């Protein structure tokens, strides 16, 4: 556990020239703006579900933790509906009702990503103007084939030029990064749709995580806008966190790998650098991340009171619900291991 306010150890590869307040990108000598000053509005924490179905008790426990982190540090607690795709009718209403049933309160209004396309387009345009984007015509099959092909060693990359980027696990290998204008025109003339990718200037970035500690992870050329014209998750979440004044993001540890990419993207956009706390997951009996396939896992089946009793037990808290937990809540005392959920554990916690 990292004490609140602890400094992040510098990563010499990616934290170049921070003391000067400016950072030069290694690809094309593009100047990256330093982080913007902190927001003057009250700082916030948030929970941002996608309305693709009902929230299970693992999602709900993370929401409760995000609320506790925010309220105990004097931050507002916000909700954002990430509804750019995969929207199931009625899901948002049920999700908000479930959060309220657990005793959570949030500042209105709830932000909907579906109404913010112009904002996302403006952010992408600013990156394009800075030389930090490029069109990508790769299909899923082509990306899988590229990821499985041999890649140059670091020494080879230094001599091969800026087009070559060694992919991290699951990262985009940069296939379209060095396409010439003629090659781009030929693909467009052939009717191939293109996504817009970030031209990342670093390979790695260091994250200061309040819960998991500092770690360094991969930064690749993430998609900013899909080939159907919709803003991609990584772009939308970074823009929205800044717009809402979010200072700390509390979310499941399964999203930790995306954080270095998002932090560097925020830096490229000149946005404030956020704090993060990636909390342990709730697993099913098979050891996989909890999901509807595990059976009775939502408030439809479990019930709010039983779910809260189980959360208290799993988090080592006493009392009937989030308000009662505020007085003794201390992130340093939270369990650090993932928790297994079964209907039997609910029965034993009641």
pTM: 0.83
Nearest to 32 by CA among 40, 20, 44, 41: 20
pLDDT, mean over the chain: 84
| DSSP code, position 228 | T
Q: Identify the bridge partners of residue 32 per DSSP, sorted by sequence position.
A: 23
Q: d(Cα 315, Cα 145) in Å, to the nearest integer?
A: 43
In the chain, what are the domain boundaries?
A: 42-115+280-350, 116-239
Q: d(Cα 267, Cα 234) in Å, to the nearest integer?
A: 13
Q: Is the peptide bond before 109 cis (omega within 30 degrees of 0)?
A: yes
Write the pLDDT tens digit of every residue in 195-219: 999 999 999 999 999 988 999 999 9
Length of the chain: 350
Domains 42-115+280-350 and 116-239 are alike in CATH topology: no
Nearest to 30 by CA among 126, 135, 130, 124: 130
Say which CATH topology domain 116-239 has: 3.90.800
Tell me what pLDDT residue 296 has: 84
Contacts for 169 with CB less than 8 Å, ≥ 6 apart: 218
If one compares 217 and 3, the residue with the highest pLDDT of the two is 217
Contacts for 283 with CB less than 8 Å, ≥ 6 apart: 58, 289, 290, 338, 339, 340, 341
190, pLDDT greater than 70: yes
Region of poorest pLDDT, from 13-17, 121-125, 315-319: 13-17
Write the pLDDT tens digit of every residue in 296-348: 899 999 999 999 999 999 999 999 899 999 999 999 999 999 999 987 666 65
Contacts for 14 with CB less than 8 Å, ≥ 6 apart: 202, 203, 204, 205, 206, 216, 219, 264
> Which CATH number does the domain 42-115+280-350 belong to among 3.90.226.10, 3.40.50.720, 3.40.50.800, 3.40.50.620?
3.40.50.620
| Distances, alpha carbon 109 to alpha carbons 77, 78, 106, 134, 319, in Å | 11, 8, 9, 35, 29
């Amino acid at each position: 556990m990292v004490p609140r306010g602890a400094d992040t150890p510098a990563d010499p590869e990616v934290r170049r020239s921070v003391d000067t307040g400016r950072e030069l990108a290694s690809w094309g000598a593009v100047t990256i703006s330093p982080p913007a000053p902190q927001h003057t509005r009250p700082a916030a924490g948030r929970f941002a579900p996608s309305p693709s179905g009902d929230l299970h008790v693992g999602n709900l426990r993370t929401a409760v933790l995000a609320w506790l982190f925010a309220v105990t540090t004097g931050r507002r607690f916000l909700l954002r509906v990430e509804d750019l795709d995969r929207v199931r009718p009625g899901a948002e209403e049920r999700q908000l009702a479930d959060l309220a049933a657990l005793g959570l309160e949030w500042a209105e209004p709830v932000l909907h990503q579906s109404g913010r396309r112009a904002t996302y387009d403006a952010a992408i345009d600013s990156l394009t103007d800075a030389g930090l984007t490029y069109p990508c015509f790769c299909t899923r099959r082509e990306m899988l084939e590229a990821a499985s092909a041999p890649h140059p060693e670091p020494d080879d990359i230094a001599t091969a030029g800026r087009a070559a980027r060694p992919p991290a696990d699951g990262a985009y290998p940069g296939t379209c990064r060095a396409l010439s204008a003629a090659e781009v025109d030929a693909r467009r003339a052939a009717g191939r749709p293109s996504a817009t990718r970030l031209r990342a200037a670093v390979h790695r970035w260091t994250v200061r995580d309040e819960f998991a500690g500092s770690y360094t992870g991969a930064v690749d050329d993430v998609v900013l806008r899909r080939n159907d014209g919709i803003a991609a998750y990584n772009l939308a979440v970074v823009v929205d966190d800044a717009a809402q004044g979010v200072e700390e993001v509390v979310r499941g540890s399964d999203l930790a790998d995306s954080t270095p990419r998002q932090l560097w993207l925020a830096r490229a956009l000149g946005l404030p650098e956020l704090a993060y706390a990636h909390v342990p997951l709730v697993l099913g009996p098979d050891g996989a991340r909890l999901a509807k396939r595990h059976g009775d896992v939502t408030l439809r089946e479990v019930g709010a009171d039983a779910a809260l009793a189980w959360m208290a037990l799993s988090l080592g808290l006493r009392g009937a619900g989030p308000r009662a937990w505020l007085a003794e809540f201390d992130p340093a005392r939270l369990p650090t291991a993932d928790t297994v959920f079964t209907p039997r554990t609910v029965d034993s916690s009641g």
